[in-house]
Amino acid sequence: MTIHIGADKDDIADVVLMPGDPYRAKWAAETFLTDAKCVHEVRGMFGFTGLWNGNRVTIQGSGMGMPSMSIYANELIRDFDVQTLIRIGSCGGMQPHVKVRDVILAMTASTVATPSSTIFKELNFAPCADYGLLAAAAEAAKAMDVDVHVGGIYSSDTFYDERPDLNKEMQRHGVLGVEMEAAELYILAARYGRRALGVMTVSDHLLTGEALPADQRERSFGDMIGIALTAAFA
């Protein structure tokens, strides 16, 4: 049990999927896991543990933004000895060929700053995914016939962005999408020698303005969760 995760150590599995929204964690657990049990609900940030194809999995909300992700990922790694952490969530598309409902596998995650930035001082550390997870996720997406893109993303702590110049440069350099958590997760995984991956569904698009209606989000998010679970146990 930690300050933010009110579960016993045995309640948390070695593999943890981390959506930002705690209610998405609840939906994913009820939809994909058998014998799912709510193992804690401190601050309303639900965590559920159950079985997927006989494998123990925890689905734990991370909250919005890298500071919140840092809290939960640190505690999961240091106090619960979690080995595999996969971010599942939504992102905004940033390239013309990336469509709403597509899935992005984040090979790298660029960012302006993370909670870990002060550790590196003048170094511009390049956080990246675990290759084994990334390759397995790409294979899973192919087998599921899901439109998937593998490449770099941008992790931002500013939801209401007022930097169109920065977005333009990222688009020019091939960044596929923008979200708010993956870069810090990748840094923590590198620091502690764990596996991490970001699997994101494109829910809106910065270029076209298209957005996935709320009633269609859960159905589209199912593909991303299936890919994440398959990759975790490949």
Per-residue pLDDT tens digits of the chain, which is 234 residues long: 899 999 999 999 999 999 999 999 999 999 999 999 999 999 999 999 999 999 999 999 999 999 999 999 999 999 999 999 999 999 999 999 999 999 999 999 999 999 999 999 899 999 999 999 999 999 999 999 999 999 999 999 888 888 889 999 999 999 999 999 999 999 999 999 999 999 999 999 999 999 988 777 766 799 999 999 999 999
Give dist(CA 46, CA 21) in Å, integer: 9
Residue 194 annotated as part of some ligand binding site: no
Residue 45 annotated as part of some ligand binding site: no
200 pairs with which residues across the strands? Answer: 89, 104
Which pLDDT does position 219 carry in this prediction? 67
pTM: 0.96
Residue 125 lies in a domain: yes
Structural domain including 169 reads 9-232
Which pLDDT does position 34 carry in this prediction? 97
Q: Point out the catalytic residue in the list 81, 204, 215, 223.
A: 204
204 is catalytic: yes
Residue 191 lies in a domain: yes
Q: Which residues contact 160 (CB under 8 A, 6 or more apart)?
A: none
Name the amino acid, one letter, at 78: R
Residue 69 annotated as part of some ligand binding site: no
Which pLDDT does position 214 carry in this prediction? 72
Reduce the DSSP state of residue 4 to 3 states and report it: coil
Residue 4 lies in a domain: no
Residue 4 annotated as part of some ligand binding site: yes
CATH classification at residue 228:
3.40.50.1580
Residue 45 lies in a domain: yes
Residue 115 lies in a domain: yes
For the beta carbon of residue 4, count every other beta carbon within 10 angstroms: 17
Kindly state the DSSP code that residue 153 receives in the 8-state scheme. E
Tally of structural domains, the chain: 1
